[in-house]
Structure 1
Amino acid sequence: MAIMRLTFRSKMLRMSTDVHIVFPLKRNIFGDPEGREPKYFVSEKKYKVLWLNHGGGDNYADWVYRTRISELAEERNLVVVMATMRDFTSSRGDVDYYGYLTEELPAYIRRILPVSDKREDNFIAGLSMGGYVSYRAALNHPERYACVGSLSSPLDIVEDYRVRHAGSKTLKSADSLIGTDKDIYALVEKNLTEKKEMPRMFQACGTEDFTWDINLKMRDFLYSKNLDLTWEQGPGIHCWEFWSVYIEKLVEWLPVSKISEERHKFQ
């Protein structure tokens, strides 16, 4: 595999920013006793891609350093793009992180790498606030993403703001988010009314996580709408110990099969 650190200047962020990309080439091997060179594999088709988002306070590198995401992606010939986000609800007026995530970054990546733009090949997911913004993106643009996933995410951002950020001097008020393109409940209702094809959904949360109640309410709401939702739960708080386990479940859930070991044979 290749793990790339990409630094480029973003117009929407008005600054340079970093992205980690896992690009599958071949499995890790220790070498051949006869000294033969390994045969690298590069897909003739454009790659399926997972846009994977971190949580608040983290950055683009955490997924690579704290989980097996590189190995999981390589096993499935899947590209994974991990950007840094600093504003998940468009509360800042000076930069547009949401536009960067949904418009500028995908366009830039597709100019430099053979990544598919087909809906069936694009998936978006994240942990905590990264899972929330993934649902926000997928439900605002259901024509772009086949699957969306969240780990320990405050998917009801209105309730999260009321409970945890009521005194914030920088974030918007909870009530100002109701019915907007940031409100997951409203987005689901809007898409159903407009008869849009909805992405398949994955939702996981630890039973001791502070987002547990929010996740249960959202789970029950999504089930009540007969959406294609896969729910996972287990012991755990809001931490990487939980996320490192459940990112594997999420990747296994994606419609991407493990590839044959034949591509790792020597010439």
Structure 2
Amino acid sequence: MALLECSYFSDVMGMHRTMRVIMPQRTLRNMDVVGVDEEGNFPVLYLLHGLGDDQNRWTNCSSIEAYAKAYNLAIVMPCADRSFYCDMVNGPRYFTHIADEVPRICQKMFRISRKRDHNFLAGVSMGGHGAFKIALRRPKKFAAAASLAGVLSLTVPEEHDWQAIPNEHELIFGSDSVAGTENDITHLAQTLDAEEGPKPKLYAWCGTEDFLYEGNQVFRKSMAKTSLDFEYDEGPGDHQWVYWNQEIRKVLDWLPLPETP
């Protein structure tokens, strides 16, 4: 595997950005690589970080590089800062950057597949929110998305301490409620459920001692009222990497990869 640190210019953001990329390699010991498409391109997982983290967090705190090697899977880890993967009302367009621009840039730079069935999303905490939001708003681009301890119900007061940084909620979402908007995951799921066309598979996991557990239960119950392909699991644990490192391996098992060893 190759672990790459990529600095690039974003037209959407109007600034240089950085992402980490894990790419499978063909070596003398591994010439016949499985899991690629007919053009030799690898399936790709866009792996999103949580609040207060960056593009380095997944590789620093988990075994994702080793897991990626086992599945011959490319991993792209962009940086979203504290944006909640939104086109901020009073700030940069992070959603457009990560949902549209980052895949476009990566498809030109790396041997990754453009096929919907080979493109996936996953994230932890704020990144779980981002993974579901992107998948539900871009269902023609992504086949599946997974959330680990994700912020799935921003309408639950305990989901986030908006007093930590003054005016942060207004900078990101504006002064109005998130409910019923393009940043409301439940609303997006219900809207997509009523539409024709492809729909992504969704998987959510949350620790039973996690402060986001209540919000995950609210989301789980709302998803039971839809026909979307949604799977939920939980287990002992709070908001820590020791649990997410175990669960991300299960996510890779769950992903509908084209072919794995």
Q: TM-score, normalised by structure 1?
A: 0.86
Hey, what does 1:149 align to over in structure 2?
A: 146
Hey, what does 1:80 align to over in structure 2?
A: 75
Residue deviations 1:182-209, cap 9 Å, x none? 1112111211222333211110000000
Matches within 5 A, 1:161-172: 164-165=161-162, 168-172=166-170
Q: Distance in 2 between matches of 1:39 and 1:49?
A: 19
Q: For 1:64, which of 59, 63, 77 is the aligned residue?
A: 59
Matches within 5 A, 1:224-243: 224-243=225-244
What amino acid is aligned across from residue 109 of structure 1 in structure 2? Answer: C
Q: Structure 2: any 5+ residue segments left out of the alignment?
A: none
Q: Distance in 2 between matches of 1:255 and 1:190?
A: 24
1:72 deviation in Å?
1.3
Hey, what does 1:258 align to over in structure 2?
A: 260
Hey, what does 2:192 align to over in structure 1?
A: 191
1:14 deviation in Å?
2.2
RMSD: 2.1
Q: Distance in 1 between matches of 2:141 and 2:125?
A: 22
What amino acid is aligned across from residue 20 of structure 1 in structure 2? Answer: R
Aligned residue pair count: 250
Three-state SS of the structure 2 residue aligned to 1:251 is helix
Stretch moving more, 91-100 or 119-128: 91-100
Q: Go from structure 1 to structure 2 and tell me whether the alpha carbon gap of 1:38 and 1:126 turns closer, same or farther (over 3 Å shift).
A: same
Q: Distance in 2 between matches of 1:84 and 1:16?
A: 11
Q: Structure 1: any 5+ residue segments left out of the alignment?
A: 28-36, 260-267
Three-state SS of the structure 2 residue aligned to 1:45 is coil
Q: Distance in 1 between matches of 2:196 and 2:9?
A: 38
Q: Distance in 2 between matches of 1:39 and 1:191?
A: 41
Q: For 2:95, which of 94, 98, 103 is the aligned residue?
A: 98
CA contact (8 A) 2:6 2:18 kept: yes
CA contact (8 A) 2:54 2:79 kept: yes
Residue deviations 1:100-141, cap 9 Å, x none? 101111111111112112111110110000110111111111
CA contact (8 A) 1:158 1:175 kept: no
1:166 deviation in Å?
6.3
Overall identity of the aligned pairs, in % = 29
1:250 deviation in Å?
0.7
1:223 deviation in Å?
2.1
Matches within 5 A, 1:1-267: 1-25=1-25, 38-40=29-31, 43=36, 44-86=39-81, 87-88=83-84, 89-91=86-88, 93-160=90-157, 164-165=161-162, 168-172=166-170, 175-256=176-257, 257-259=259-261
CA contact (8 A) 2:139 2:198 kept: yes
Three-state SS of the structure 2 residue aligned to 1:57 is coil
